[in-house]
Structure 1
Amino acid sequence: MTVTVRGLHPETGELLRRVFLGQGARWQESREFSEEVFCEDVISQGMAPLLFRRIASEVSNASAWPESLLLRLRKTALHQAAFELVAELDLRHLLAAFAQVGISPLLLKGTPLSHTLYPEPGLRPRCDTDLLISGEDREKAANLMKKLGYTPLHEVQVDYINTQMSYSKKTAQGFSCCYDIHWQVSNCNRQFSRDFVNGKLFGNAEALPALGENAQTLSKVDALIFSCFHRAGHFSHSGDRLIWLYDIHLLCQALTAQEVTAFCQRVKELQIISLCANAITTAQSWFGTVCPEELKLFLYEKTENEAAAQLLGSGRRHGIRKHTLLELKGLSGWQERFSYILQNLFPPAEFMLWRYNKKKKLILPWLYARRFAEGLIIFLRK
């Protein structure tokens, strides 16, 4: 199976694949492919610390790589490890503050996985920490973040467009600790978010002692489902990202037989078999994932017209169009669908100024005309 990652040079992809499949990769520089290009690719894919660890652990193969390249990878890995020490302390303080005001968030994506699946947290780079809260706690959480000195990066909340708020704070060490506070598990599909959370997402949560007594995260079953859906939600815009596939690879190998059965059953209920099968087989092609027998059989199950499979199409226009149609299909009635269309065509003025990075309200009529024109292009052009 040949799989390409958008934005990744083929030479980088081939080297990474051979390294992680244990095929004795050797560095070969050419006029078109340099250390600089390779390092930029690896860092953008979130794979630099893992790659350095893999190469350094294979002493016999380390000599096949230029020392200057290994030094670059080592520097990136050390920087990530240093950041991790600061970020962990900041997160512990934040979770304790949440607990004091009665908010019990769930940690999502890379941060909890880095502490449960990876040998060391610093091996799993990430630009922020994601937390899921109840919709009822939105205002309380926003007030707390500002009180604690975090600066909101996305100040506009729009129910049908933006269901998260982002915050950042500079630490004394010069690092930026960033958080995405979600009250809907996915921005790209309300029906999935509703069904996923209603499936006892918080009830199935697991404690995360590595991050203190107030830390909790998704069960491994829910984490794998979420990782597969999150990957699909970004696929049409930016394609795959290798660190996301590596998360899926590790999650698959960490499931017990009982958890595999629960995973297959839950995915069928959510009607996202094709999304999950595609994600797992893609991860397998890169990292040689060893799947339990029941999961292997699941990957070849036939699916009949699953609507969510459309998320795997390529191209930004295709992605927005399919996301919108899926969202409309999942809304409860025509009144809610009308509200969704109206809000997407004519969002609040504050959102428009933020979205297009403008400050003067006089330009708003032009911005709304631009947004309307962009919508027409997306839905009328093939």
Structure 2
Amino acid sequence: MGMGGMRRQGSDFEPEFFRIFRSIEDQQKRSAWLQAEGMLAAAPMLRARGLPLAADDPGEVSLEAERAAAEQQMLEALVRSGVPFLLAGPSLAAWTLYPEPGRRPRESMDLMIHARAVNDARAILRDEDFVPDPRGATRTESAQAWRRSKASVQLSIRLRWDFCDHPILNRRFSIAGLQAKSVVIEKPVAGLRALGVEHATLYSALRWVDAVHERFRLVDLFDQDLRWRMLGKEKLAELALLARQRGVAGILAEHLGMARRVFGTPVSTELLHSLKQSGNHERSGSLLGAGRGRMRYHLLGALYGRGLRVRGRHLFSLISPG
């Protein structure tokens, strides 16, 4: 799917998602495309935007509802334990942006946790029949993936003790600082804390840059669209200020620009221009541009990584096939 250059939004503007959707006339092919992009379960939300979608796929919705129930059970165990953590990523989007959590497919649940509490969290995961997942191992020292060894529905958990993986990004935010700015969300568990909306918006944008070894799906961008539409003027100003303070305004502008092109996210041209101007002076902008990709990501990781182990991992990733 071509993302093209930024275009001006006028009365005749049609978001790229809508244009591609309408160009696929065969219903089965259309459903297959939506499923591949993680958008099939969000059918009611797309219908509300005027897309002529058929009835929901009951199998897709049922599977994601089972996954949401498994997530809730695990979150209840973690909250009961008293180990401090923050819900983040696609699971946070599922529970806060969608009418039902099963409407947002996801492959893993991201939990932000202070490095001092990681071993306690690991012990709880083991008690719940989780084991380390080598397939989800990150390329830096910032996270660890776990999966349930025996379960009817696959559930993976990613413990994160850094906000991001890449050396240029992973010290922009501290877990302690995120916890101080966190919010309590109403569901699925009483007392569950999560990233606030500004940090969740930035996390979505930075994860897009970070995920060079993962397939980008449109549902990840749809999260950003939904989140943006919930922000008021005050929160927008706080978000822009935070992005500039942490040196990631250019990345935020790039991600929001994509959301505007693809889903018609109502981001003003003035704000995008202002963020891009700030981004021209940011080191994080070196991860963007025409050369963006796996090679550039790991070259910069080897250059800016702290310690031989981190630099070595990035150098090895340059020659490994994964």
Normalised by the size of structure 2, how large is the TM-score? 0.81
Give 1:205's aligned residue. Answer: 182
How far residue 222 of structure 1 moved from its aligned partner, in angstroms, is 0.5
Change (3 A) 1:244 1:129: same
Q: Deviations over 1:260-309 (max 9, x none)?
A: 11111111111111111010011000111113687456345353342212
Contact residue 260 and residue 294 of structure 1 kept, 8 A: no
| 2:72 corresponds to | 92
* Structure 1 residues 163 and 179: alpha-carbon distance in aligned structure 2, compared to 1, 3 A threshold: closer
Distance of aligned partners of 1:48 and 1:158 in 2 relative to their CA distance in 1, 3 Å threshold:
closer
What corresponds to 1:133 in structure 2? Answer: 113
The structure richer in helix per residue is 1
CA separation in 2, counterparts of 1:82 and 1:157?
Answer: 29
Two-structure CA RMSD over aligned residues (Å)? 3.4
Deviation, structure 1 residue 226? 0.8
Retained in 2: the 8 A contact 1:168–1:178? yes
Cα distance in 2 for residues equivalent to 1:215 and 1:83:
24
Instruction: Report how many aligned residue pairs link the two structures.
Output: 309
Describe the SS at the equivalent of 2:134.
coil
Say if 2:260 is the partner of 1:284: yes
Give the 3-state SS of the residue equivalent to 1:289 in structure 2: coil
Distance verdict in 2 for CA 1:262–1:99, change over 3 Å? same
Q: Do the aligned partners of 1:46 and 1:125 also contact (CA within 8 Å) in 2?
A: yes
Pick closer, same or farther for the CA change 1:214–1:159 going to 2, 3 Å. Answer: farther
1:319 corresponds to = 297
Question: Which of 25, 28, 33 lines up with 1:28 in the alignment?
Answer: 25
> Counterpart of 1:210 in 2: which secondary structure?
coil
How far did residue 188 of structure 1 move? 2.0
Instruction: Give the residue type in structure 2 aligned to 1:243.
Output: V
Counterpart of 2:36 in structure 1 is 44
Q: 1:192 offset after TM fit, Å?
A: 2.9
Query: Structure 1 residues 159 and 130, CA, compared in 2 at 3 Å: closer, same or farther?
Result: same
- Residue in 1 aligned with 2:18? 17
Q: Whole-Å Cα distance in 2 between the matches of residues 193 and 163 of structure 1?
A: 11
- Structure 2 Cα separation of the partners of residues 217 and 210 of structure 1: 11
Q: Structure 2: which 5+ runs fail to align?
A: 5-14
Matched, 1:340 2:318: no
Computing the radius of gyration from Cα coordinates, the structure with the larger value is 1
CA distance 1:164–1:152, shift in 2 (3 Å): closer
Distance in structure 2 (CA, Å) of the matches to 1:303 and 1:372: 27
Unmatched tracts of structure 1, length 5 or more = 5-13, 346-370, 378-382
Displacement after TM superposition at 1:237 (Å): 4.7
Q: Percent identity over the alignment?
A: 19
2:153 is matched with which residue?
Answer: 175
The alignment's TM-score, normalised by the length of structure 1, stands at: 0.69
Q: Which amino acid aligns with 1:45?
A: E
Deviation at 1:101? 3.2
| Matches of 2:270 and 2:16, distance apart in 1 | 31
